[in-house]
Every structure is written in structure tokens, then in C-alpha cells.
């Protein structure tokens, strides 16, 4: 039986100007570095600054995973972009809510809403 | 055993006495007797000799068999000692041969001068000849038996016996033919003489065959061979002298013994001739193999060092050497030098876990080095630049790099350059000679070159294939031993690390307050259960500027020692700021700024944060502010409860003013008998065996269950017990902290 990876992060093709990144599985201390490398490549190497993170398939997020988001948000915003979170499962939203993330990040119920938010801004 | 030998001897002498009687009665040594009588005499003498031989065998030879010799080295030198002893035996026997001559004992009427004038046929003549003959025969037996011992050494007894029988048969036939010719049974013509000579030559060939294979000789060391040489020459000379004494007709001895025992006289002459040939062969064989004995010594040294190596490798796994890596390396170096008889040796072993590090040289790298009879600089120079060490026409840039590159042994046979590699330093025990040949073998682990073992000699071309084989086998064992020692060392390091972990845990525990503050109107109790790793839960009590008590709870993100340190830092900041800040929001703001300022911002992963919940109990009431921490549980005395979750962000995540803007301070309207519970997510995230998390509602219900309990302490412990029950195992994946504040009836 093929084992599904514990965590995956992929760029989803999108018609809009925003870059949609889908997260799945467990984002913990071990997989956070993979996530960080991925985001750094998107932001620094590819220069993409308008990001929508699709949390729909994410099962768990640890403080290390949140640290990655915090570590890049200022850089993204300084470059005129933003990082929007979408489709958060209830548990994950609860964690983010406790820590006060809704005050830093815009959170949307669906990916399309988040994409639309980027279009409207321009 | 002795009595049996005595019996044999007595029996032999009895037979000879019978012969004496026969001689006295029937014979007077005036002339050669008839062939039949001579044969009877020879038979009697032969059987007497047989008994003597058996007695001697019982007395001497059986007890000194080689199987008694335990030491291998002594067994190798055993034949030498036999040859030495044989010299004595031969000397005694030749003394007997010359006795009649010395005392002018003669049968010839012409030689009547001297102390003993013997009349042929006289009674005294018969007696003296017979007694002398007895002794002479006995000596012959001793000589033959001793020689048999030598001839048997390291021979397969079957083949040795076959050769001996061949030789004895030739001797027997020659003796018999001589006897018959003497007695005129067969004509004294040229044909018979030719036959006799032919058989005598055959006998000589048999003697050569006896001495042709000397299997023990190659096993002797040079020193033993030097000891053997004079004795072999001596034995050969004595045998020649005996041959002269018994075989030359001009000597009276010859006449005497010929008269006494015509048959055995010929046997004796043949025997001494054989001995002369045999020991001459021994002498020359020894002489010619003297130069090759170094090979034997080397082989033996190699075998010894291999044996030592085997013992060494088996010892090592249980020995204290494994605890002492430098000592082990030294031992290996010394052994390598001994095994290859090198003038010096050294080894170099790179540390583990430096996958991409250069082979040598960088300062921080941990390399184990050991030198035997060579200075560090000299060894370094040879490894780094093998100038003038061409190998098969190919110039090697650096033996060290060559070894690392190929992973194969390297042999450098000779040097051209006259450059001196060894420093003329007093502390170096090696003379200021140049090294002219060298072998380097890699120390491998998982096919990766970890270092090298080097041996070098002053001699050119000083190493052969055997050295390489020995050294390669040696390096395999050495690598294994060194690697094992290293693992042992690593595990010791790990234990040390575990110790650090324990220390960190102790530190964490010591950071938690030991006493609970005396807050008017409240009873306070708190407990924190650390998970396996050091975690970052924290609670503390402090006092605000206006004297109102402050209760803090926190949870540092991440685990381990760094989290623990972060917690200590947070605690320190809160403790320092609490008395000087106007309110809790400002206190949190200051803490956030201080932590952000201190944290390394280079990598986001290192950025940890801390959630804090602060509760102040001033005269104005109980206030709660939440920096990302879990909500406050407020259980009322009427059995209702609520979770207070004011807005707020975790500390250390984001800068002002966003942080302080997010904070919301709320007033908690507490009433007598109400209970306030601060907790960490280790409590609500605790899971039962089916993976279900405890959650807020269950926690509240547990508190409600135990609400009737009078003291805060018991309420805390019972609630924790309920949580532990829920997990079924009592194990928490994360630190679990509970702080319980119970309002007294009269506030």
C-alpha cells in the first residue's frame, strides 16, 4: 500500500493574478522546513507576492508552521503583496484565532473569495 | 618402569656373559672362526643389543618425546638440542673405539710394548676383549637409538621407517657379505667385491636419503642455526674419527672389534659412515639456508603478530581500550609497526559526521593521530608531499590524497630524492635516517575512507606482498575497533546530553514558583506536568506597581532546551516589567518588544513565540488579558461556566502597534465560591486512546465534578486526575499546566 506523504504543499494553477498554494496533511516542526523552502522559493525566487494559502486539506498546524507564515508576511507586504488564508478547517481556525492570527492575516471561507479580494484591490 | 629397564639390561648382559663363556670355551681369539660360529655369536650379540635398546628406550627416549614440549618455539629448537646431545654420545662411543689403542691392547704379537702385553689366546685377553666388546656394543645401541630420534623429528614415521629399513637392509647385506667373504664362504673375487661395493654405495645413497629431507631445518631461526652449525660439524668429524678407529686395519681397535664381533663391526662402520654423511649434509644444509632463515624468522614474527592481532581484536571488544580512543590508536600503531617490522608507523583517523569536510587540515576538525617512532612533522611531510616517491613511474602528489581518492593500499618502493624526512630531534627515537619505502592502507568505514595507517622503513623496497596482506587485514580490524571506540565515545557524549536535558528539566522546574501567593479573598494552587522532552509551559506569580497580585501563565512554542531558555527569558522579562508598567497591556507590550528585539530574525523558523495569559487581582476587581493563550475558564458556584477569550496575539510574533492594538483587557466579575482556571493547551489537547481530544467542555465538566471539594489544592489535583483518567495512560504529549484560583466566601 502506498503511503501518503505526511505533508504536501503544491502550487495550484489559477486563472487569476493570485498564486494559490494548497496545503495538505500535517504541518509540524518536521515538515515546516519544507513549507518554508517552498514559500521562500515562491516569494524570493519567483517574485510572487499575491498569495492565497488553501488550508482545506490541512489537518494540523504547529507553532513552527505558524512561524513560517509570520516569518514571511512582512516581506510579502513590503513588496506590495499579501498573504491571505482560505478554507480553514474549524480546528485550525481555532488555533489561529487563539493566537490572534485573524488580526494579522485576512481569512476567507473559500479560495475564490480570497482570489477575488486580490482582484478588487486593484 | 626402572625395574623393567633393569631387567632388560641384566638380560642383555646375561646373553653377553653367555657369549663370554662361549668365547672362553670354544675360542681363544687366535684366528677367525667358522662362519656358523660367527653367526651364532652375532645372533647372541644382536639379541643382547636388542635388550639394551629396549632398556634405553624405556629409560630415556620415551620420556623425552617431543609431545611433552609445550612451547612452539622450544619445539622448533628441539632438534638442535638433540644434535647437541648426540655429540656427547658420539664422543663417548669414539672414546671406546680408541680405548684399545690407548692402552696398547693388541692382538698382534709385534705390538707387545706398553702396559698391557696380551698374549693371543690367553685368558686375560679373552676377558678384556669381551668386556671392551660389551661396552662397545652397548655404545653402538645408544648411538643408533639417539640417531633414530634425530631422524624421526618432524618426519612421518611411516616414511622415516621405510627409509631406515632400506638403509638397514643395505647395511645388513654388506655386513653379511663381508662376514661370508672373511670366512671364505663365498669366494674373494672381483665380482663379490664389486657387489659388496655396489651395495655399500646403495647404503651411502640410503644415508643421503636419510639426511636429504630435514623438515625441521627450515623452521629454525638464524640463531638456532648458528648454534646447530658447530655441532653438526663436530658430529660429522667424530663420526669420521669413529669410522677411522673402527675401519682402519692398522689400528688395534679395528682388529679387536673385528675379532669380537665380525658382523656388528661392519654394521658399526656402516653406521658411522652414515652418520658422517648425515651430519655433513646437516652442516651444509644449515650453512646454505642460513641466509634464508630471515624469511623463517619473518614468517614466524608475522604469525605471531597475526596471532596477537586476533587476540587484540577479540580483547578489544570487552576492554577498557574502547573507552580510550587515543590509547587504542597508539596500540594499533605500535602493532602495525611490529607486524610489518617497520621502522616507524603512524595513523590518522578523521572524525565522524563531517561528510563534506576536507580530508585534513581545517582547524576545527577532530582528527585522531598516533605516531610510533616518528615525529609528527616528519609524518605530516611524507603524507602531504611524497616527493621522490614514484610508484611504477607515476608520481604521487600526496599519499594522503591518493589514499582518500582510491581507497586502496599504496606501496611506495623507493625514493630518489635525498631530502630528509625525519627531523634530527632529540625526542624522536628514530635515528636521523631517511625512510626509503612506505606502505599506506586506508581505514575504511562503509567503504568511505576515514583515514590511513602508514608504515615506513629505512630500507628500499622493504615491503612485500605478505606485508600488504597482513597490514590490510590489520587495518580492517583496526577500523572496526576504532569505529567501535568512537561509537562508545559518542554514546558517552549522548549520555552527557541526556544529563543536560535533565539539567534543563531541573532548570525549568526551578523556574516555577515553589510557593503560592497569599491573595486576600483567594486560594491559589498550580501544577505543571512536563512532557518527556523539556517543554515550555510556565506559570508565575508577581506583583504589579500598585501592589496587586499578578498571575501569569504561558506556553512557549517549540520544545527542548531552546524552548526552556525562551521560557526563562520570558519569565525574567515579565518579572522585571511587572512592577514598573502601568497595566497588564503595557506589560505585555513591553514583553513583546523585548522578546522581538532579542530573537534572531534571520530565519523565520527560529522565531518562536510565547502565549501569555495574565490575571491581576486589584481592588478594582479581577482583570484578564490574553496574549494568544487559551481562554480563562470561569466556573460559577451555581454550576454554570464560561470561557473568556478576549482578543489578543501571541507574544513575539509581530511588532507594535499591531500587537498592542489587538490586546483586550477584560474584567472578570467573580463572586464568592467561584473558581477561575488558567490552563495550557496540553490539558485540552490531551487525547484518549481513540485519539479524541479532551476539549474545553470536558475540562469544564471535570472542574464542576470536583467543585464541592473544599481546597484549591485538592480541586486542582482531582481535576488533573480526571484528565489523566481520560487519557487512560496518564501520559501527556505536551506540558500540561493548571492554575486554579478559588474565591473564598468572604472576599
* C-alpha dist (Å) from residue B525 to B166, B555, B638, B740: 110, 18, 22, 5
pLDDT of residue B1: 67
Angle CA(A109)–CA(A113)–CA(A118) in degrees, nearest 5? Answer: 130
Q: Are B558 and A64 within 8 A, CB to CB? A: yes
Peptide bond into B147 cis (omega under 30): no
How many Cβ pairs within 8 Å bridge chains A and B?
A: 65
Long-range contacts, stretch B71-80, CB < 8 angstroms, 24+ apart = B76/B216, B76/B219, B76/B220, B76/B221, B76/B224, B77/B220, B77/B221, B77/B224, B78/B153, B78/B216, B79/B150, B79/B153, B79/B154, B79/B216, B79/B217, B79/B220, B79/B228, B80/B220, B80/B224, B80/B227, B80/B228, B80/B231
Q: Are A29 and B650 within 8 A, CB to CB? A: no
Q: Are A72 and B605 within 8 A, CB to CB? A: no
Entry pTM: 0.47
Contacts with B628 from chain A: Cβ below 8 Å: 98-100
pLDDT of residue B105: 59
Count the helix, strand and coil residues of chain A and give each as a percent rounded to the nearest 5: 45, 30, 25
pLDDT of residue B122: 67
pLDDT of residue B417: 46
Q: Which of A67, A99, A100 comes nearest B605 by C-beta?
A: A67
CA–CA min distance B645, chain A (Å)? 8
Q: Do the Cβ atoms of B656 and B592 come closer than 8 Å?
A: yes
The answer to whether B740 faces chain A, any CB pair under 8 Å, is no
Confidence band, pLDDT 50/70/90 cuts, at residue B526: very high
Bigger pLDDT: A12 vs B214: A12
The answer to whether B531 faces chain A, any CB pair under 8 Å, is no
* C-alpha dist (Å) from residue B336 to B342, B440, B551: 8, 11, 69
Q: Do the Cβ atoms of B418 and B397 come closer than 8 Å?
A: no
Q: Which of A33, A99, A101 comes nearest B605 by C-beta?
A: A33
Estimate to the nearest angstrom the gap between the alpha carbon of B741 and the chain centroid. Answer: 67
CA–CA min distance B605, chain A (Å)? 6
Q: B239-248, B362-371, B453-462, B613-622: which has the minimum mean pLDDT?
A: B362-371
pLDDT digits (tens, 9 = 90+) for B661-680: 888 999 999 999 899 999 99
The answer to whether B605 faces chain A, any CB pair under 8 Å, is yes
CATH top-level class of B513-743? alpha beta
Q: Which residues are registered as beta bridge partners of B371?
A: B346
Which residues are CB-contacts of A52 (< 8 A; sequence separation ≥ 6)?
A14, A18, A19, A20, A21, A84, A86, A111, A114, A115, A118
**Average pLDDT over chain B, rounded to an integer:** 77
Percentage of chain B surpassing pLDDT 90? 11
Residue B625 has pLDDT above 90, yes or no: yes
Cell numbers standing for residue B291: 641466509
Estimate to the nearest angstrom the gap between the alpha carbon of B585 and the chain centroid. Answer: 70
DSSP 8-state symbol, B373? S
The answer to whether B530 faces chain A, any CB pair under 8 Å, is no
Whole-number Å distance between alpha carbons of B88 and A25: 97
Residue B744 has pLDDT above 80, yes or no: yes
Whole-number Å distance between alpha carbons of B297 and B709: 91
Whole-number Å distance between alpha carbons of B171 and B165: 10
Which 79-98 residues of chain B touch chain A by CB within 8 A?
none
Give the residue from chain B lying closest to A65, CA to CA.
Answer: B605
Q: Which CATH architecture has domain B320-490?
A: 2-Layer Sandwich (3.30)
Contacts with B653 from chain A: Cβ below 8 Å: 66, 70, 99-100, 104
Pick from B743, B682, B680, B737: which is nearest to B707 by CA? B743
Pick from B512, B435, B434, B437: which is nearest to B471 by CA? B437
Query: B598: buried, middle or exposed (CB in 10 Å: 19+, 13-18, 0-12)?
Result: exposed
> What structural domains does chain A harbor?
7-121 (3.30.750.24)
Most confident of B33-42, B312-321, B567-576, B699-708: B699-708
Residue B28 has pLDDT above 70, yes or no: no
The CB density around residue B184, as the number of other CB atoms within 10 Å, is 11
Q: Are B557 and A70 within 8 A, CB to CB? A: no
Mutation for testing the B interface, residue in A62, A103, A105, A106 having most B CBs under 10 Å: A103
Q: Are A71 and B607 within 8 A, CB to CB? A: yes
DSSP 8-state symbol, A24? E
The domain locations on chain B are: 2-291, 320-490, 513-743
Q: A80-94, B174-188, B618-632: which has the minimum mean pLDDT?
A: B174-188
pLDDT of residue A107: 92
Q: Do the Cβ atoms of B78 and B66 come closer than 8 Å?
A: yes
Q: Which of A29, A72, A100 comes nearest B649 by C-beta?
A: A100
Query: Which residue reads 655429540 in cell numbers?
Result: B87
Of chain B, the end-to-end C-alpha distance in Å amounts to 115
Give the residue from chain B lying closest to A39, CA to CA.
Answer: B604
DSSP 8-state symbol, B61? I
pLDDT digits (tens, 9 = 90+) for B684-719: 888 888 888 898 999 999 999 998 887 888 999 999
Q: Are A103 and B557 within 8 A, CB to CB? A: no
CA–CA min distance B646, chain A (Å)? 9
Q: Which of B558, B630, B645 comes nearest A63 by C-beta?
A: B558
Whole-number Å distance between alpha carbons of B75 and B82: 11
CA–CA min distance A36, chain B (Å)? 8
The CB density around residue A24, as the number of other CB atoms within 10 Å, is 18
The answer to whether B340 faces chain A, any CB pair under 8 Å, is no
pLDDT of residue B317: 56
> Given strand B665-668, what is the order of strands in its sheet?
B537-543, B549-556, B610-618, B621-627, B665-668
pLDDT of residue B387: 52
Contacts with B631 from chain A: Cβ below 8 Å: 98
Q: For the residues B194-199, what does the mean pLDDT come to?
A: 84
Give the residue from chain B lying closest to A103, CA to CA.
Answer: B662
Contacts with A33 from chain B: Cβ below 8 Å: 605
Q: Are A71 and B611 within 8 A, CB to CB? A: no
Note whether ipTM > 0.85 here: no
pLDDT digits (tens, 9 = 90+) for B61-107: 654 444 444 444 556 677 788 888 888 888 888 887 777 766 665 55
Q: Do the Cβ atoms of B679 and B738 come closer than 8 Å?
A: yes
For chain A, the residues whose C-beta falls within 8 A of a C-beta of chain B are 29, 32-33, 36, 62-64, 66-68, 70-72, 98-101, 103-104
Which 644-703 residues of chain B touch chain A by CB within 8 A?
645, 647-650, 653-654, 658, 661-662
Long-range contacts, stretch B269-272, CB < 8 angstroms, 24+ apart = B269/B243, B270/B170, B270/B171, B270/B174, B270/B175, B270/B200, B270/B203, B271/B140, B271/B143, B271/B144, B271/B147, B271/B171, B272/B239, B272/B240, B272/B242, B272/B243, B272/B246, B272/B247
Q: Are B604 and A68 within 8 A, CB to CB? A: yes
Q: Do the Cβ atoms of B364 and B341 come closer than 8 Å?
A: no
pLDDT of residue B363: 38
Whole-number Å distance between alpha carbons of B537 and B512: 10
Q: Which of A62, A64, A99 comes nearest B649 by C-beta?
A: A99
Amino acid at each position: 500500500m502506498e503511503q501518503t506523504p505526511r505533508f504536501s504543499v503544491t502550487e495550484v494553477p489559477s486563472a487569476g493574478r493570485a498564486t494559490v498554494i494548497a496545503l495538505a496533511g500535517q504541518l509540524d516542526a518536521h515538515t515546516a522546513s519544507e513549507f518554508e523552502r517552498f514559500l521562500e522559493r515562491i516569494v524570493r525566487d519567483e517574485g510572487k507576492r499575491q498569495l492565497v494559502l488553501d488550508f482545506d486539506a490541512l489537518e494540523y498546524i504547529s507553532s513552527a508552521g505558524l512561524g513560517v507564515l509570520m516569518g514571511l508576511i512582512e516581506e510579502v507586504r513590503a513588496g506590495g503583496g499579501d498573504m491571505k488564508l482560505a478554507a480553514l478547517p474549524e480546528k485550525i481556525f481555532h488555533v489561529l484565532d487563539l493566537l490572534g492570527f485573524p488580526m494579522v492575516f485576512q481569512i476567507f471561507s473559500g479560495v475564490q473569495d480570497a482570489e477575488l479580494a486580490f482582484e478588487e484591490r486593484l | 618402569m626402572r625395574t623393567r629397564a633393569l631387567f632388560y639390561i641384566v638380560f642383555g648382559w646375561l646373553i653377553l656373559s653367555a657369549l663370554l663363556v662361549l668365547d672362553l670355551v670354544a675360542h681363544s681369539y687366535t684366528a677367525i672362526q667358522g662362519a656358523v660360529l660367527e653367526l651364532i655369536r652375532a645372533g647372541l650379540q644382536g639379541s643382547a643389543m636388542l635388550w639394551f635398546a629396549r632398556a634405553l628406550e624405556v629409560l630415556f627416549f620415551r620420556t623425552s618425546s617431543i609431545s611433552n614440549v609445550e612451547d612452539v618455539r622450544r619445539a622448533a629448537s628441539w632438534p638442535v638440542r638433540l644434535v647437541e646431545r648426540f655429540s656427547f654420545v658420539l664422543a663417548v662411543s669414539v672414546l671406546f673405539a680408541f680405548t684399545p689403542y690407548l692402552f696398547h691392547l693388541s692382538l698382534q704379537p709385534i705390538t707387545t710394548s706398553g702396559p698391557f702385553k696380551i698374549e693371543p689366546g690367553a685368558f686375560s685377553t679373552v676377558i678384556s676383549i669381551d668386556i671392551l666388546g660389551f661396552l662397545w656394543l652397548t655404545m653402538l645401541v645408544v648411538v643408533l637409538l639417539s640417531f633414530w630420534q634425530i631422524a624421526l623429528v618432524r618426519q612421518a614415521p611411516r616414511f622415516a621407517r621405510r627409509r631406515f629399513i632400506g638403509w638397514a637392509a643395505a647395511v645388513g647385506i654388506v655386513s653379511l657379505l663381508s662376514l661370508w667373504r672373511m670366512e671364505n664362504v663365498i669366494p674373494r673375487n672381483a665380482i663379490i667385491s664389486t657387489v659388496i661395493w655396489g651395495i655399500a654405495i646403495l647404503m651411502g645413497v640410503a644415508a643421503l636419503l636419510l639426511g636429504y629431507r630435514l623438515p625441521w631445518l627450515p623452521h629454525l631461526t638464524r640463531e638456532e642455526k648458528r648454534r646447530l652449525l658447530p655441532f653438526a660439524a663436530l658430529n660429522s668429524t667424530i663420526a669420521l674419527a669413529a669410522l677411522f678407529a673402527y675401519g682402519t686395519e692398522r689400528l688395534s681397535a679395528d682388529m679387536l672389534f673385528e675379532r669380537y664381533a665380525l658382523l656388528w663391526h661392519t654394521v658399526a662402520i656402516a653406521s658411522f659412515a652414515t652418520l658422517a654423511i648425515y651430519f655433513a649434509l646437516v652442516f651444509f644444509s644449515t650453512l646454505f639456508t642460513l641466509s634464508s632463515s630471515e624469511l623463517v624468522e619473518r614468517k614466524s614474527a608475522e604469525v605471531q603478530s597475526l596471532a596477537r592481532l586476533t587476540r587484540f581484536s577479540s580483547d578489544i571488544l570487552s576492554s577498557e581500550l574502547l573507552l580510550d580512543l587515543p590509547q587504542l590508536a597508539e596500540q594499533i600503531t605500535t602493532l602495525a609497526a611490529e607486524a610489518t617490522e617497520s621502522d616507524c608507523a603512524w595513523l590518522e583517523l578523521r572524525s565522524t559526521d563531517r561528510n563534506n569536510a576536507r580530508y585534513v587540515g581545517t582547524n576545527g576538525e577532530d582528527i585522531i593521530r598516533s605516531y610510533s617512532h616518528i615525529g609528527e612533522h616528519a609524518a605530516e611531510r611524507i603524507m602531504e608531499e611524497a616527493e621522490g616517491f614514484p610508484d611504477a613511474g607515476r608520481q604521487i602528489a600526496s599519499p594522503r590524497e591518493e589514499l582518500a581518492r582510491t581507497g586502496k593500499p599504496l606501496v611506495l618502493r623507493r625514493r630518489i630524492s635525498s631530502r630528509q624526512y625525519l627531523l634530527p630531534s632529540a625526542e624522536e627515537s628514530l635515528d636521523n635516517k631517511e625512510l626509503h619505502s612506505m606502505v599506506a592502507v586506508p581505514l575504511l568505514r562503509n567503504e568511505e575512507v576515514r583515514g590511513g595507517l602508514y608504515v615506513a622503513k629505512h630500507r628500499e623496497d622493504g615491503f612485500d606482498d605478505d606485508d600488504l596482506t597482513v597490514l590490510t587485514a590489520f587495518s580492517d580490524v583496526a577500523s572496526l575497533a576504532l569505529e567501535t571506540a568512537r561509537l562508545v565515545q559518542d554514546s558517552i557524549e549522548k549520555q552527557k546530553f541526556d544529563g543536560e536535558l535533565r539539567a534543563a528539566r531541573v532548570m525549568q522546574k526551578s523556574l516555577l514558583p515553589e510557593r503560592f501567593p497569599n491573595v486576600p479573598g483567594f486560594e491559589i494552587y498550580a501544577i505543571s506536568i512536563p512532557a518527556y522532552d523539556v517543554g515550555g509551559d510556565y506559570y508565575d506569580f508577581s506583583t504589579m506597581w500598585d501592589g496587586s497580585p499578578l498571575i501569569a501563565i504561558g506556553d512557549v512554542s517549540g520544545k527542548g532546551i531552546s524552548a526552556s531558555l525562551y521560557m526563562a527569558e520570558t519569565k525574567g522579562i515579565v518579572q522585571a516589567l511587572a512592577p514598573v508598567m502601568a497595566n497588564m497591556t503595557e506589560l505585555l507590550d513591553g514583553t513583546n518588544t523585548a522578546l522581538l528585539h532579542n530573537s534572531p530574525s534571520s530565519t523565520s523558523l527560529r522565531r518562536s513565540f510565547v502565549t501569555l495569559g495574565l490575571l491581576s487581582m486589584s481592588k478594582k476587581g479581577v482583570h484578564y488579558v490574553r496574549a494568544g493563550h487559551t481562554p480563562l475558564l470561569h466556573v460559577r458556584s451555581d454550576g454554570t461556566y464560561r470561557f473568556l477569550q478576549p482578543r489578543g496575539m501571541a507574544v513575539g510574533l509581530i511588532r507594535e502597534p499591531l500587537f498592542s492594538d489587538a490586546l483586550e483587557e477584560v474584567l472578570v466579575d467573580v463572586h464568592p465560591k467561584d473558581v477561575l482556571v488558567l490552563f495550557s493547551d496540553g490539558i485540552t489537547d490531551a487525547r484518549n486512546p481513540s485519539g479524541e481530544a479532551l476539549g474545553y467542555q470536558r475540562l469544564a465538566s471535570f472542574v464542576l465534578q470536583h467543585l464541592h471539594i473544599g481546597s484549591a489544592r485538592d480541586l486542582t489535583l482531582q481535576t488533573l486526575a480526571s484528565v489523566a483518567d481520560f487519557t487512560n495512560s496518564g501520559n501527556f504529549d505536551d506540558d500540561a499546566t493548571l492554575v486554579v484560583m478559588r474565591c473564598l466566601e468572604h472576599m
